[in-house]
A and B are shown apart, each in its own frame.
Chain A
């Protein structure tokens, strides 16, 4: 089974700063099968990025995704107050299965 490892566990930044979140897969995966979600306390996850780099409907362009093979990145260019949340990467397997990373919390410094 593919394992997704996200780093860092917690990212402490100030509004306006750039956030770089990493998601590493235990084996190579198709970029088409890598997505990112945002979750705020008490809320359901929200799809941000699919296919590693495509923004979901309504997602601001300060969010971008990149990567291939085993290494993927979510970048938030200028953190807004509403961006402080937990972010999960997810990969799709053929069984089918959906596997999530353990999450990265972006907190206000």
Chain B
């Protein structure tokens, strides 16, 4: 069974950094394209970043230059390094697998709160 489990969320001050993890089981992260999607409290879904193959990375304009997506195949884990965090980065962050043009498997999410 394909499963994704996010961790690493918490409360962080503006300007701080946080690294989110997404542990995969039932498949290898090297075999799938993967995404991060976030959802601010009470709001809709916003795509954040995608990782294709080993080195092709893509970012929404709102996080470009501040966030870095990566993976560790030995740990079968996807990461999102978030730097220079702002209040409007406050959200539940989901990792999801990409199948063509849609997202077919989602983790349960991890909450990031940026507040002083």
Contacts and interface: CB of A to CB of B under 8 A. Distances in A.
B101 A46 contact: no
Q: Could you tell me the dominant secondary structure of chain B's interface residues?
A: strand
A96 B35 CA distance: 11
- Greatest chain A CB density within 10 A among B35, B47, B94 is at B47
Contacts of B52: 96
Contacts of A37: 45, 103
Interface string B2-40: 000000000000000000000000000000000101000
Contacts, number: 60
Interface residues of B, number: 22
Query: Which 5 pairs show the lowest CB-CB distances between chains A and B?
Result: A92-B101, A35-B102, A98-B47, A44-B106, A100-B45
5 contacts: A90-B103, A97-B47, A98-B37, A100-B46, A101-B44
Interface of A: 32-33, 35, 37, 43-47, 50-51, 56, 88, 90, 92, 95-103
Given A45-B103, A50-B102, A98-B50, 9 more contacts: A33-B101, A44-B94, A45-B37, A45-B106, A47-B105, A90-B103, A96-B52, A98-B103, A102-B44
